[in-house]
A and B are shown apart, each in its own frame.
Chain A
Amino acid sequence: GAGVSQSPSNKVTEKGKDVELRCDPISGHTALYWYRQSLGQGLEFLIYFQGNSAPDKSGLPSDRFSAERTGGSVSTLTIQRTQQEDSAVYLCASSLDLAGGLNEQFFGPGTRLTVL
């Protein structure tokens, strides 16, 4: 079956513009996660969803970042007024359910964001 898909695969934008990154999880997966991978850094956990609910938004780097999930499926990560330090690969993952965090996460290919 289809895996996790993300779009766009690459996004180049100018400083100050808003961007939207999309994630389509595996069908039937109720848990969804967003990560950021900056050059030379590990994966930075941003936010998770169980269904449409995001109980903990503390991982988002600033109030310019927001995420939503509708219909328990597609999720959108929005970055407002982008800055050069937002340049990174943004990864999305889904799992069958939260299960205390122990279910295998299936990762998408990522969106490479470049802010000029």
Chain B
Amino acid sequence: GDSVTQMEGPVTLSEEAFLTINCTYTATGYPSLFWYVQYPGEGLQLLLKATKADDKGSNKGFEATYRKETTSFHLEKGSVQVSDSAVYFCALINPGTYKYIFGTGTRLKVLA
């Protein structure tokens, strides 16, 4: 069945460091891909999405490119801030199935 694999956390970085959180997927068909973020004490919220191969989703300085050839959707940010500390979830959906598949989440901690 469909699945999403994320790198294990926690990831600890200093402020202004470069961030990469790896995400790979297994899916039939042509899924859409998402990154959701959960800040401390808050509910999950959509960070960015990409609906077809080579699309780049971006928001708040974060980017992820849908790579069909490597079945990946890695999250990147050039310069992290303390306020980026959160848990990040990679997810996919095969359109028409309405069933989202989430990864286990990666906790990011940014130190001042």
Binding site for B on A (CB under 8 A): 3-4, 31, 33, 35, 40-45, 48, 50, 56, 59, 91, 93, 98, 100-102, 104-110
Contacts and interface: CB of A to CB of B under 8 A. Distances in A.
Given A42-B105, A43-B91, A105-B46, 17 more contacts: A35-B100, A41-B104, A42-B4, A42-B102, A43-B44, A45-B99, A48-B98, A50-B98, A56-B98, A56-B99, A91-B43, A100-B96, A102-B49, A104-B46, A105-B44, A105-B100, A108-B43
Interface residues of B, number: 25
Interface string B54-96: 0000000000000000000000000000000000010101111
A104 B93 CA distance: 12
19 contacts: A31-B98, A35-B102, A41-B104, A42-B103, A45-B100, A50-B98, A56-B99, A59-B99, A91-B43, A101-B93, A101-B94, A102-B32, A102-B51, A105-B44, A105-B100, A106-B45, A107-B43, A107-B44, A110-B43
Interface of B: 4, 32, 36, 42-46, 49, 51, 89, 91, 93-105
Q: Interface of chain B, helix or strand or loop or mixed? A: loop
A100 B105 contact: no
